[in-house]
Structure 1
Amino acid sequence: MAETPAPTATPKSFYNEKVNIDVIKALVEKANSAPEVVFKDVPKDSPTAKTIELAARLGIVKGHADGSFKPNQSISRAEIVYMLSKVMNTSSASNPTKFNDIAGSWAEDAIHRLSDNGIINGAGDGSFNPNAKATRSESLLMILRLLNVSLGHSLDID
Structure 2
Amino acid sequence: MTLNGDFVLIPAKALVNFVTNPKKMLKIVNNNGTYNLPLNVLKLDDLAAKLNVTVDELIIKASISKADDATAAAVNAAASAVGGTVASTIVDFSITGLGKEDNKVAVDFGSNYISRVLPMSKAVNPGQATAVLFDPTTKKLSFVPALFSDKEAVIKRNGSSIYAVIETSKTFGDIKGHWAQNYITLLANKLVVDGVTDTTFEPERNITRAEFAALVVRSLGLNTNVSNATYAQFKDVASDQWYASVVGAAANAKLIDGYEDGTFKPNATINREELAAMVVRALNYAGAKPAVTSEEQAQLLAKFKDSNSIVWAKEEVATAIKAGIVDGMTDDTLGARSTATRAQSATMLKRLLTTANFIN
TM-score of the aligned structures, taking structure 1 as reference length: 0.73
* Structure with the greater alpha carbon radius of gyration: 2
CA distance in 2, matches of 1:126, 1:52: 34
Point out the structure with the larger strand share. 2
Measured after TM superposition, the shift of residue 152 of structure 1 is 6.5
Q: Which moved more, 1:109-118 or 1:143-152?
A: 143-152
- CA RMSD, aligned part only? 2.9
Cα deviations by residue, 1:13-53 (Å, 9 ceiling, x for unpaired): xxxx64747620159x846x11x21212111x322111101
Question: What secondary structure does 1:96 align onto?
Answer: helix
Question: What secondary structure does 2:211 align onto?
Answer: helix
Measured after TM superposition, the shift of residue 67 of structure 1 is 2.3
How does 1:79-118 map onto structure 2 within 5 Å? 79-86=211-218, 87-94=220-227, 96-98=230-232, 99-103=234-238, 104-118=240-254
Question: What secondary structure does 1:138 align onto?
Answer: helix
**Is 1:18–1:90's contact at 8 Å kept on the other side of the alignment?**
no
Measured after TM superposition, the shift of residue 145 of structure 1 is 0.8
Determine the structure 2 residue equivalent to 1:8: none
The structure, 1 or 2, with the larger RCO (C-alpha pairs under 8 Å, 6+ apart) is 1
Determine the structure 1 residue equivalent to 2:170: 37
CA distance in 1, matches of 2:280, 2:171: 30
Determine the structure 2 residue equivalent to 1:62: 194
Cα deviations by residue, 1:113-134 (Å, 9 ceiling, x for unpaired): 1111211111221111111001
Alignment size in residue pairs:
138
- Opposite residue 82 of structure 1, the aligned amino acid is A
Determine the structure 2 residue equivalent to 1:134: 270
CA distance in 2, matches of 1:19, 1:93: 18
Q: Runs in 1 of length 4+ with deviation above 6 angstroms?
A: none
**Is 2:231–2:245's contact at 8 Å kept on the other side of the alignment?**
no
CA distance in 2, matches of 1:101, 1:59: 28
CA distance in 1, matches of 2:267, 2:291: 27
Gaps of 5+ in 2: 1-109, 116-143, 147-154, 157-163, 297-318, 324-360
Determine the structure 1 residue equivalent to 2:64: none
TM-score of the aligned structures, taking structure 2 as reference length: 0.34
Q: Which moved more, 1:144-153 or 1:96-105?
A: 144-153
CA distance in 2, matches of 1:19, 1:126: 30
Measured after TM superposition, the shift of residue 56 of structure 1 is 0.7
**Is 2:171–2:188's contact at 8 Å kept on the other side of the alignment?**
no
Measured after TM superposition, the shift of residue 100 of structure 1 is 1.3
Measured after TM superposition, the shift of residue 93 of structure 1 is 2.4
CA distance in 1, matches of 2:270, 2:259: 12
- Opposite residue 276 of structure 2, the aligned amino acid is L
Q: Does 1:76 align with 2:208?
A: yes
Match of 2:255 among 93, 102, 119: 119
